[in-house]
């Protein structure tokens, strides 16, 4: 076995092996070990064990919600969105996310009581039925049926019968249509408006308006209140088909709600008035005119009337604010006896419902919580506690309470640090309700998280929020606000005084609920970078105005004055003038801090541009920050600057100041655009001529083969790039390279610092590692600084020495995205936020990721080890990169590290380290989704997060083992769902041989046959069952004629009609073969051999034509107007499989 292993390894390394033996690495056999692991990694079985792309979960709040539904029996609620997305939630961790095929907005949602079924109405006038069904060990939400309503019927409102048999559809014309939920087809029963309004005054008979509300009687399911938009209401009896009582109000109707006793109901209208009506009289029992008058008020959009046991009733309604003073407010008013409160939200109220506790009296309800769905957040109010406090959300949090400006992920947080964060979070949530979370539908079946993961988001208002990302629910832990450290400067401060907060009049009893706040006090407060040390708890937050705030964790409250340190990159040289925003002014007074993160240092960079790169090493006591003008290192132990470097071109200092001001004139911008266009064309025109010049006469274009050339280097050493050795494995198969235009200095601000990295590496020699700082810029320059620390007993007094050690300039001059120090196996070295890894194998290498290439250099010699050209080979540019670890699915001891990258095309890829071989390439985002690409962050465990909308993270996994997804189950009571309709027995006794009336199971070859003498209903049912199978269709099939358009009897009635073709004609042909559904049209039976195949895939044309000629048997089973079903039997080894 050992011999065969050696032969395989030597065959694999072959020519490059001599390079490994003469390299300066102390252990050359480490590379042989690396290549052996790479060989194993490249096998398909190993890839399946390690890598798999899956989108696993959605975190946050659904974007643009439009509808809400609540099932009080299963305690589940559903949310529909503007894009056609459907979400069902229960207890934390119980979550179902599906999408409609059409992107039409969801108008209404209705649960079928107790059945785990949900009906959705879309704006395109289609109804859809969804079911929660068991699939394996967990439940899934599946689309079952759909029904298209006649486009002439504009649906105003819907209501499900308590029995679950029918869905009432109230239309604009005033009629009510019924949908049979069992068959999910429209019935012939229609409650006509003329019938309902027989006994009403003539004025309302003419035009009572559309059906605005349908409310079933709480005790008698045969009765319901039908409300019309002009104010007419009718108590309708479905058994006698008669109006028991008629109610007339001269105000437009918006909502109706029954009292629990069933003896009265309440109606809400367009001027903030509501009336109480009895079932035995047509006159109003009670009326409340303009409850927030006397001035004109807005309409009440929805009202709920809840009867409680031995107490005053709850009256809850949305809207109704006085137009003049509070017309822009989004409110929900709650009245309970003498107590009333106006819940004030920041965004529009979509809908609401109450969670009721079972009472001894079936006519009563005990509301324990009020759930309000607004356009930007979900608010849950505790109605069982005094003062009605809000619940802290365990899920569906408003991530964008202030716009998200940056994101970072920290995996495997130590337990002691995690406990401290939880303790601080509990202290911050002291004003929230301490009652258990009221929404508890379903149950979680997945395992508990094996580690603690932290997602940290920075926001536009200067706040930093910590989220528990360990499981499928993203739960907020705590919030840190940095705005309190800064006072009002020259820029807009916008700090509201306490008096402005209390301006509302007391009689309205406004109570602010929710966390969504779209307004920022000062745009300079926006957070650009966040770093958190998992070992020490130190936090660093960098902002838009060049501010870098350092926090230390303290579990107790304290009051201190953070020290301010200035760092100027450009100074007074070359008359540099900054034309951008002013820096924030740090408060000179002491700042009181609650338990948690306490500020101890504020570093102000000058010019005050946004921070573009940040690095932290708590053990060394250093912070590095970079902007578009340079970078610097701060010693937060001694609170002084260690080193600073300006990266601006000396000849373009003035231009840089003007560029950062973002005030360039339109004329200048247009002139530069044409200049770049002319320059690009001239370079393409001179391509052939330039090939005759010497290599040193011009900079090679990216994408061409690069040779050695002079590069700027530090006095310590000079190193250039060179192409990879032709004998290396990476050069065995070179793809065709596309031409990449040379990057102009005007394309981007070349001085911008893109990445900073602290690491202990072999930069000076291979005998011992040296603390270093690596900095990469937009111009493809990498600066390597060596760090020298004083003895530990003099650390507080002696300065830290920082010296430029080496300098690398990439020939293609693409922006440097990230820098990683790895060992011979590709394992990352000395992550400053984790414990130092053990068992590292030399030699060390540095992986430099630029927008166009991935390059690996050996340390300390900086000799090229390998590279991968992305832009030249694929036309893609790198946007994000990170080193991630992947555990094997079957072998827990096996761990591999790979480089995860995201391109501007929205594709994620994995590359093995250090040889950069691609292991996976998947499309993750649309290339047009710029916000999603810019917000994506990789985790160290092979997962990723990106903003699918401003308020929601999409979570995906690249790992075959680690997939954090919701696993849940909903238990349905026995016998609550109606039995599916049984298939009818075919006429004529037994079936013909070779023509079974069934659809084969998924994965098998599909055979559909219908007996020639079967009934018409059976034929239509079989056709629909074939065409509704999504897995059978590879091309769109012609749908069968609606049964309503056909005669209900067979025989001669099937023939004739204006739209009927001759009996011998075939208008639609369906041929089923090997899980493919071929659909086409022809005119006669004789044309079967000359079918038109334009609608098929090109690859299927020849195969189908061949089958039609010889290898298949085509049998016309039934001809009926526009539907023909045929059965194909493919010959196997010269015989039919059914013979």
The 10 Å CB-count burial string (b at 16+, else e) for 286-298 is eeeeebbeeeebb
459 CB-near residues (< 8 Å, 6+ apart): 401, 402, 403, 404, 405, 465, 526, 527
List of E strands, 61-164: 65-71, 76-81, 85-89, 95-99, 106-112, 117-122, 126-135, 138-148, 155-160
Question: What would the mean pLDDT of 974-992 be, rounded to a whole number?
Answer: 57
Cβ(1078)–Cβ(1071) below 8 Å: yes
The pLDDT tens digits for 532-577 are 999 899 999 999 999 999 999 988 888 888 999 999 998 776 667 8
Please give the full DSSP string across 243-289, using - where no structure is assigned: EEEEEE-SS-EEEEEE-TTSSEEEEEETTS-EEEEESS-SSEEEEE-
DSSP reduced 3-state for 318: strand
* H-only helix segments in 26-89: 29-41, 44-50
Residue 754 lies in a domain: yes
* E strand or H helix at 687: helix 687-690
Cβ(85)–Cβ(62) below 8 Å: yes
653 and 549, same structural domain? no
Q: What would the two tokens of residue 187 be?
A: 């019935």
Per-residue pLDDT at 1103: 53
Query: Is the pLDDT reported for residue 1085 higher than 50?
Result: no
For the ranges 420-434, 581-595, 733-747, the lowest mean pLDDT is seen at 733-747
The residue among 487 and 93 whose pLDDT is bigger is 93
Interatomic CA distance for residues 271 and 298, integer angstroms: 5
Question: What would the mean pLDDT of 965-969 be, rounded to a whole number?
Answer: 94
Averaged pLDDT score across all residues of the chain: 78
Strand ranges across the sheet with 76-81: 65-71, 76-81, 85-89, 95-99
Per-residue pLDDT at 198: 85
Question: What would the mean pLDDT of 408-418 be, rounded to a whole number?
Answer: 95
User: Given pLDDT bands bounded at 50, 70 and 90, which one contains residue 373?
Assistant: very high
DSSP reduced 3-state for 1102: helix
Domain count, the chain: 4
The residue among 681 and 479 whose pLDDT is bigger is 479
Interatomic CA distance for residues 68 and 86, integer angstroms: 10
Residue 381 lies in a domain: no
653 and 575, same structural domain? no
State which of 797, 814, 831 marks the end of a domain.
814
Query: Is the pLDDT reported for residue 1132 higher than 80?
Result: no
Closest CA to 602 of 483, 448, 709: 483
Query: Residue 136, by phi and psi: left (phi above 0), alpha (psi -120 to 50) or beta?
Result: left
Per-residue pLDDT at 734: 52
Cβ(226)–Cβ(234) below 8 Å: yes
Interatomic CA distance for residues 614 and 713, integer angstroms: 24
Residue 963 lies in a domain: no
The pLDDT tens digits for 14-70 are 334 333 333 444 433 334 344 444 444 556 777 889 999 999 999 999 999 999 999
DSSP reduced 3-state for 212: strand
Interatomic CA distance for residues 552 and 531, integer angstroms: 12
Per-residue pLDDT at 679: 60
Q: What would the two tokens of residue 912 be?
A: 């093995």
Per-residue pLDDT at 1094: 45
483 and 557, same structural domain? yes
Q: How many CB atoms lie within 10 A of CB 624?
A: 26
pTM summary value: 0.76
714 and 577, same structural domain? no
554 and 650, same structural domain? no
Query: Is the pLDDT reported for residue 656 higher than 50?
Result: no
Question: What would the mean pLDDT of 58-85 be, rounded to a whole number?
Answer: 96
The pLDDT tens digits for 999-1032 are 333 344 333 333 333 344 444 444 444 344 343 3
Q: Distances from the Cα of 281 to the Cαs of 244, 269, 285, 643, in angstroms?
A: 10, 20, 8, 87
Strand ranges across the sheet with 952-959: 51-60, 952-959, 943-949, 937-938
Interatomic CA distance for residues 738 and 490, integer angstroms: 50
Residue 844 lies in a domain: no
Residue 43 lies in a domain: yes
Question: What would the mean pLDDT of 1041-1049 be, rounded to a whole number?
Answer: 37
656 and 583, same structural domain? no
User: Given pLDDT bands bounded at 50, 70 and 90, which one contains residue 768?
Assistant: confident
The pLDDT tens digits for 696-741 are 333 333 333 333 333 333 333 434 443 333 334 333 445 556 655 5
Per-residue pLDDT at 325: 86
Per-residue pLDDT at 860: 92
CA 853 to chain centre: 29
* E strand or H helix at 716: none
1104 and 1015, same structural domain? yes
Question: What would the mean pLDDT of 787-793 be, rounded to a whole number?
Answer: 93
Query: Is the pLDDT reported for residue 412 higher than 60?
Result: yes
Interatomic CA distance for residues 923 and 954, integer angstroms: 14
Query: Residue 1069, by phi and psi: left (phi above 0), alpha (psi -120 to 50) or beta?
Result: beta
Residue 566 lies in a domain: yes
Per-residue pLDDT at 1105: 53
Closest CA to 849 of 929, 751, 780: 780
* E strand or H helix at 58: strand 51-60
List, in sequence order, every residue forming a beta bridge with 166; answer none if it has no partner: 180
Residue 858 lies in a domain: no
- Torsion angle, alpha carbons of 584, 585, 587, 588, to 10: 150
The pLDDT tens digits for 138-189 are 999 999 999 999 888 899 999 999 999 999 999 999 999 999 999 999 999 9
Per-residue pLDDT at 669: 66
**Residue with structure tokens 């391509």?**
687
Query: Is the pLDDT reported for residue 122 higher than 80?
Result: yes
Query: Residue 988, by phi and psi: left (phi above 0), alpha (psi -120 to 50) or beta?
Result: left
**Residue with structure tokens 């949602």?**
109
656 and 556, same structural domain? no
The pLDDT tens digits for 468-520 are 999 999 999 999 999 999 985 444 333 333 344 444 445 677 899 999 988 88
Cβ(90)–Cβ(968) below 8 Å: yes
722 and 587, same structural domain? no
28 is in which domain, residue-wise?
A: 2-48
Per-residue pLDDT at 364: 82
The residue among 355 and 685 whose pLDDT is bigger is 355
595 and 467, same structural domain? yes
Cβ(933)–Cβ(904) below 8 Å: yes
Q: To the nearest whole percent, how much of the chain has pLDDT over 70?
A: 71
The residue among 786 and 1061 whose pLDDT is bigger is 786
Q: What would the two tokens of residue 1067 be?
A: 């208008």
CA 955 to chain centre: 6
Per-residue pLDDT at 653: 54
Query: Is the pLDDT reported for residue 268 higher than 50?
Result: yes
For the ranges 103-112, 458-467, 1114-1123, the lowest mean pLDDT is seen at 1114-1123
579 and 458, same structural domain? yes
Cβ(204)–Cβ(197) below 8 Å: yes
Q: How do strand 454-459 and strand 475-481 relate by DSSP bridges?
A: unpaired
Question: How many alpha carbons lie under 13 Å from residue 1022 in its C-beta half-sphere?
Answer: 30
Is the bond preceding residue 239 a cis peptide, omega within 30 degrees?
no
State which of 814, 832, 853 marks the end of a domain.
814
Closest CA to 454 of 433, 477, 424: 477
Please give the full DSSP string across 1019-1064, using - where no structure is assigned: HHHHHHHHHT-GGG-SS--PPPPPGGGS-SS-GGGGS-STTPPPTT
Q: To the nearest whole percent, how much of the chain has pLDDT over 90?
A: 55
1085 and 1012, same structural domain? yes
The pLDDT tens digits for 817-842 are 999 999 888 899 867 777 666 667 88
Q: What would the two tokens of residue 343 be?
A: 């819940």
Closest CA to 771 of 779, 784, 761: 761
Query: Is the pLDDT reported for residue 392 higher than 90?
Result: yes
**Residue with structure tokens 């989004």?**
330
Per-residue pLDDT at 182: 93
Q: How many CB atoms lie within 10 A of CB 1030?
A: 9
Cβ(462)–Cβ(526) below 8 Å: yes
In Å, the largest CA–CA distance within the chain is 106
State which of 814, 843, 864 marks the end of a domain.
814
Residue 515 lies in a domain: no
């Amino acid at each position: 076995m050992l011999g065969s292993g050696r032969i395989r390894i030597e065959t694999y390394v072959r020519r490059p092996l001599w390079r490994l033996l003469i390299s300066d690495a102390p252990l050359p056999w480490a590379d042989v070990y690396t290549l052996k692991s790479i060989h194993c990694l490249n096998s398909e079985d190993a890839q399946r064990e390690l890598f798999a792309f899956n989108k696993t979960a959605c975190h946050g709040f659904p974007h643009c919600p439009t509808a809400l539904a609540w099932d009080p029996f299963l305690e589940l609620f559903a949310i529909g969105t503007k894009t056609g997305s459907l979400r069902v939630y229960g207890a934390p961790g119980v979550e179902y996310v599906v999408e409609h095929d059409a992107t039409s907005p969801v108008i209404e949602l209705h649960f079928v009581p107790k059945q785990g079924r949900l009906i959705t109405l879309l704006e395109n006038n289609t109804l859809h039925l969804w079911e929660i069904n068991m699939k394996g060990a967990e439940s899934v939400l599946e689309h079952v049926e759909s029904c298209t309503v006649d486009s002439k019927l504009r649906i105003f409102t819907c209501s499900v019968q308590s029995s679950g048999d029918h869905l009432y559809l109230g239309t604009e014309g005033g009629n009510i249509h019924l949908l049979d939920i069992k068959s999910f087809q429209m019935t012939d029963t229609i409650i006509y408006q003329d019938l309902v309004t027989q006994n009403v005054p003539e004025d309302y008979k003419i035009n009572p308006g559309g059906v605005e509300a349908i409310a079933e009687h709480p005790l008698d399911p045969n009765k319901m209140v039908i409300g019309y938009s002009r104010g007419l209401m009718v108590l309708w009896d479905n058994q006698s088909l008669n109006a028991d009582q008629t109610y007339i109000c001269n105000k437009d109707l918006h909502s109706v709600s029954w009292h629990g006793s069933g003896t009265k109901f309440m109606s809400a209208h367009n001027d903030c008035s509501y009336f109480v009506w009895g079932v035995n009289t047509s006159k109003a029992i009670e009326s409340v005119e303009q409850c927030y008058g006397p001035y004109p008020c807005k309409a009440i959009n929805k009202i709920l009337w809840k009867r409680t046991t031995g107490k005053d009733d709850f009256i809850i309604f949305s809207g109704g604010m006085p137009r003049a003073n509070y017309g822009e407010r989004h409110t929900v008013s709650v009245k309970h006896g003498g107590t009333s409160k106006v819940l004030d939200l920041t965004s529009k109220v979509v809908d609401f419902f109450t969670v009721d506790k079972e009472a001894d009296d079936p006519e009563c309800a005990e509301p324990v919580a009020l759930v309000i769905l607004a356009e930007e957040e979900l608010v849950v109010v505790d109605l069982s506690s005094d003062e009605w406090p809000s619940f802290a959300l365990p899920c569906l949090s408003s991530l964008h309470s202030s716009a998200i400006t940056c994101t970072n992920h920290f995996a495997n947080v130590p337990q002691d640090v995690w406990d401290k964060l939880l303790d601080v979070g509990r202290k911050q949530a002291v004003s929230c309700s301490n009652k258990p979370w009221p929404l508890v539908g379903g149950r979680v079946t997945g395992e508990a998280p094996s580690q603690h993961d932290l997602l940290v988001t920075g926001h536009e208002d200067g706040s930093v929020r910590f989220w528990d990302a360990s499981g499928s629910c993203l739960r907020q832990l705590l919030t840190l606000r940095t705005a309190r450290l800064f006072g009002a400067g020259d820029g807009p401060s916008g700090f509201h005084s306490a008096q402005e907060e209390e301006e509302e009049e007391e009689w309205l009893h406004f109570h602010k609920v929710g966390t969504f706040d779209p307004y920022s006090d000062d745009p300079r407060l926006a957070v650009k970078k966040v770093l958190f040390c998992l070992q020490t708890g130190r936090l660093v937050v960098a902002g838009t105005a060049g501010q870098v705030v350092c926090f230390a964790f303290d579990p107790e409250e304290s009051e201190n004055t953070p020290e301010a340190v200035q760092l100027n990159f450009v100074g007074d040289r070359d008359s540099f003038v900054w034309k951008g925003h002013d820096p924030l002014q740090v408060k000179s007074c002491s700042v009181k801090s609650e338990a948690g993160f306490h500020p101890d240092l504020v570093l102000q960079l000058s010019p005050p541009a946004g921070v573009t790169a940040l690095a932290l090493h708590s053990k060394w006591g250093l912070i590095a920050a970079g902007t578009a003008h340079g970078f610097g290192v701060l010693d937060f132990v001694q609170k002084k600057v260690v080193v600073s470097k300006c990266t601006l071109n000396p000849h373009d200092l003035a231009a840089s100041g003007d560029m950062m001001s973002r005030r360039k004139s339109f004329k200048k911008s247009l002139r530069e655009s044409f200049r770049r266009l002319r320059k690009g064309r001239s370079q393409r025109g001179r391509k052939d001529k330039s090939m005759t010049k010497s290599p040193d006469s011009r900079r090679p274009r990216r994408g061409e083969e690069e040779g050695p050339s002079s590069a700027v280097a530090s006095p310590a050493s000079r190193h250039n790039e060179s192409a990879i050795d032709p004998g290396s494995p990476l050069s065995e198969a070179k793809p065709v390279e596309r031409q990449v235009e040379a990057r102009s200095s005007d394309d981007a601000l070349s001085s911008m610092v893109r990445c900073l990295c602290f690491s202990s590496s072999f930069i000076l020699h291979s005998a011992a590692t040296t603390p270093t700082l690596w900095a990469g810029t937009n111009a493809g320059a990498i600066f390597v600084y060596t760090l020298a620390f004083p003895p530990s007993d003099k650390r507080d007094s002696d300065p830290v020495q920082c010296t430029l050690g080496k300098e690398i300039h990439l020939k293609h001059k693409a922006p440097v995205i990230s820098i990683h120090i790895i060992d011979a196996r590709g394992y990352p070295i000395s992550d400053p936020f984790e414990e130092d890894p053990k068992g590292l194998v030399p030699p060390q290498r540095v992986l430099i990721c630029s927008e166009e290439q991935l390059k690996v250099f050996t340390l300390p010699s900086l000799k090229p080890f390998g590279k991968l050209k992305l832009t030249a080979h694929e036309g893609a540019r790198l946007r994000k990169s990170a080193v991630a670890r992947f555990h094997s699915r079957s072998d827990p001891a096996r761990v591999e590290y790979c480089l995860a990258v995201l391109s501007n095309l929205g594709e994620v890829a994995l590359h093995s380290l250090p040889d950069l071989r691609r292991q996976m390439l998947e499309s993750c985002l649309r290339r047009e989704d710029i916000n999603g690409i810019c917000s994506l962050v990789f985790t160290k465990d092979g997962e990723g997060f990106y903003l699918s909308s401003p308020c929601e993270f999409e979570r995906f996994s690249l790992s075959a083992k680690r997939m954090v997804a919701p696993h849940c189950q909903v238990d349905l009571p026995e016998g609550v769902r109606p039995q599916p309709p049984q298939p009818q027995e075919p006429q004529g006794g037994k079936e013909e041989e070779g023509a079974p009336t069934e659809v084969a199971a998924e994965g098998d070859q599909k055979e559909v046959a219908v007996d020639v003498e079967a009934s018409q209903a059976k034929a239509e049912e079989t056709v629909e069952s074939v065409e509704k199978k999504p897995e059978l269709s590879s091309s769109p099939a012609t749908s069968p004629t609606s049964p309503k358009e056909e005669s209900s009897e067979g025989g001669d009635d099937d023939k004739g009609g204006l739209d009927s073709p001759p009996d011998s004609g075939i208008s639609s042909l369906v041929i089923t073969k090997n899980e493919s559904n071929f659909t086409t049209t022809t005119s006669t039976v004789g044309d079967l051999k000359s079918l038109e195949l334009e609608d098929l895939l090109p690859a299927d044309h020849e195969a189908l034509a061949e089958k039609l000629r010889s290898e298949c048997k085509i049998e016309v089973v039934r001809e009926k107007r526009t539907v023909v079903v045929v059965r194909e039997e493919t010959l196997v080894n010269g015989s039919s499989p059914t013979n």
